[in-house]
Amino acid sequence: MKVALVTGAGSGIGRASALALSEAGYAVVLVGRRADRLEETAAAAAGETLVQAADIADEAQVEALFAATRERFGRLDLLFNNAGAGAGGRLEDLSLDAWRKVVDVNLTGAFLCTREAFRLMKAQAPRGGRIINNGSISAHAPRPYSVAYTATKHAITGLTRSTSLEGRAYDIACGQIDIGNAATEMTQAMAKGVPQADGSFAPEPLMDVKAVADAVVFMAGLPLDANVQFMTVMATKMPFIGRG
């Protein structure tokens, strides 16, 4: 049995991906801040789960999370760094506190989870595993009023590349999935209208979140001598190609 750990598993892309991995035969460690939402995901899972409420921006909590995973399952085959946060508003109005909260979750949290996964994957037998980072379309192009989110998602690409490079020696593969306009609770406003690069306000097409979950399962299922380094999964007609 393979073991996957999914952050942000209480809703949206995290929940859909965790359930798809469960259907594919993985035991899944469900991570998020709200235990009640994680329990809902666990109740819908097809196989074994471990619910772990944690703040991934807190080093001690992340260390405890991976220790619990090792104690329960003895190994980790997949980490999906999915949890994310945003802070809207104009750049000149963004507070330092709001900036730091986004950086703490999106970048520092992904680093802390990656570091602990690396330590575990290096030491386990058989050695190795896979890490998938949720980069987002914003790893390529910004939306208006998203400076903190966009900056961290660009940084995730650097984390992906560095992890992929350093992981070669230990059979640890790392890739990135860049997602655009998956239909979740967080993207409901897009169907009504969101700011565009030209200053207008317009609705945007959405895609079924299942397309993302299926892509994650595909990336996860590759043998460790093969890797999807970067994958973009997006609503076909969303304003990404040509954005700006």
- For the cut 80, the answer to whether the pLDDT of residue 4 exceeds it is yes
State residue 24's pLDDT score.
98
3-234 CATH pick, 3.40.50.1000, 3.40.50.720, 3.40.50.150, 3.30.43.10: 3.40.50.720
Catalytic (active site) residue 149 = yes
State residue 243's pLDDT score.
56
63 close to 44: Cβ distance less than 8 angstroms: no
Alpha carbon distances (Å) from 114 to 89, 143, 149, 168, 194:
30, 27, 19, 14, 33
The whole-angstrom separation of Cα 1 and Cα 182 is 29
- For the cut 80, the answer to whether the pLDDT of residue 244 exceeds it is no
Q: 147-176: per-residue pLDDT in tens?
A: 999 999 999 999 999 999 999 999 999 999
Taking the CA atoms of the chain, what radius of gyration do you get in angstroms? 17
Q: Name the pTM for this structure.
A: 0.95
Find all residues with CB under 8 Å of 198, minimum gap 6, and list them.
Answer: none
Q: Which residues pair with 52 in a beta bridge?
A: 31
**How crowded is the C-beta side of 45, counted as CA atoms within 13 Å?**
30
- Amino acid of residue 25: G
Name the CA dihedral angle for 41, 46, 52, 53, rounded to a multiple of 10 degrees: 0
Mean pLDDT of the chain: 94
Annotated active-site residue in 26, 145, 149, 170: 149
- For the cut 80, the answer to whether the pLDDT of residue 187 exceeds it is no
State residue 192's pLDDT score.
84
Provide the residue ranges of all domains of the chain, joining segments of one domain with +: 3-234
Find all residues with CB under 8 Å of 46, minimum gap 6, and list them.
Answer: 19, 22, 23
State residue 163's pLDDT score.
98
Band (pLDDT 50/70/90 cuts) for residue 195 is: confident
State residue 99's pLDDT score.
96
Token pair in block for residue 13: 């892309």
Which of 21-25, 132-136, 153-157, 237-241 shows the lowest mean pLDDT across its residues? 237-241
